[in-house]
Amino acid sequence: MSTPTADPDRATPARPIAAAIAAVIRNDEVLLVQRANPPDVGRWGFPGGKIEAGETIPDAALRELLEETGVTAEALHVFTAVDAFDRDAGGGLRRHFILIAVLCRWISGEPIANDDALEARWVRLGDLDRSGLALSLDVADVARRAAGLMGEVQP
């Protein structure tokens, strides 16, 4: 079996990049950040980032959460994955990320944007579709799924 290679005329990686996202639920709210870097600069999504070699998915999600927001949480469950594509102005693929979602229970801290986040805030789950925030693809669906799962794991 041959190994795919990147197009030599582009900086596109030959394979998708694995990243973890923290879906933090607190009561009826979800923690979102406004992204400072591609993909989806300026859009709102979950705190997260690339998984480091030797790092577990939950550990990566918690590390990125703390780095981007100052919030600490408990990782409960890896529950879904979504694709995120970083495209150039002409629509060409620069990078393909696989975002692996980790359900997290808030422990402490109020969000303060750090690292890769322009802004960070709690958003009421019921307001996701009418918040006026430019959400990244699948954010509202993943947040609702996380909230449903949180209801199943609450003591």
- How many Cβ atoms sit within 10 Å of the Cβ of residue 137? 15
Give the domains, in start order, of the chain with CATH numbers: 17-147 (3.90.79.10)
What is the model's pLDDT at position 131? Answer: 85
pTM over 0.85: yes
* 18 bridge partner residues: 98
Query: Is there a catalytic annotation at residue 110?
Result: no
How large a percentage of the chain has pLDDT more than 90?
A: 79
DSSP state of 37: S
For 83-138, what is each residue's pLDDT tens digit? 999 989 999 999 999 999 999 999 999 999 998 899 999 999 999 988 899 999 99
Contact (Cβ atoms closer than 8 angstroms) between residue 95 and residue 38: yes
Which residue among the candidates 55, 68, 119, 152 is catalytic per the annotation? 119
